[in-house]
Amino acid sequence: MSNQIFVRDVMKTTFDMMDGLCTVREALKRMQHVQTKTLIIDKRSEHDEYGIVVIGDIAQLIAENRSPNRVSLYEIMNKPTVSVHAEMNIRYASQLFLRFGLSRAPVLDEKRQIIGMVSLTDMVLKGLTHLE
């Protein structure tokens, strides 16, 4: 019996993806509807990278008194986003999160397609219950 826990074991398979040309106002409507704090910004082409917008990015926009109706997601997103592989051990994924100050990241399959989202909280809680 293996005592290893992989990202695939703790990730959430639901996530929200939007086009970078959408406005922040459109993103806020989507985020309120699904009660999420993170949006994945889709790739523009096969050789592009995913982006990410977290609630803190939108808070920064509001603090700067910029209109959510006039700002597109691509203007505030972080790209490329740090991602993890589904087969990564959560010990290593947690170390990566801590090193880069991440709270969540997209999970990629072997074809570099997003198949879920994983949070530091999910990994810590699952890791603690596994130690008992």
Gap between the Cα atoms of 99 and 24, Å rounded: 29
Q: What residue ranges define each of the domains in the chain, with the CATH number in brackets?
A: 7-131 (3.10.580.10)
pLDDT digits (tens, 9 = 90+) for 48-70: 999 999 888 999 999 999 999 99
Total-model pTM:
0.84
Q: Which of 11-20, 100-109, 119-128 has the lowest mean pLDDT?
A: 119-128
Q: By 3-state DSSP, what share of the chain in percent is helix, strand and coil, each rounded to 5?
A: 40, 20, 40
**Mean pLDDT across the chain:** 90
pLDDT number for residue 128: 60
Give the Cα separation of 105 and 121 in Å (integer).
Answer: 12
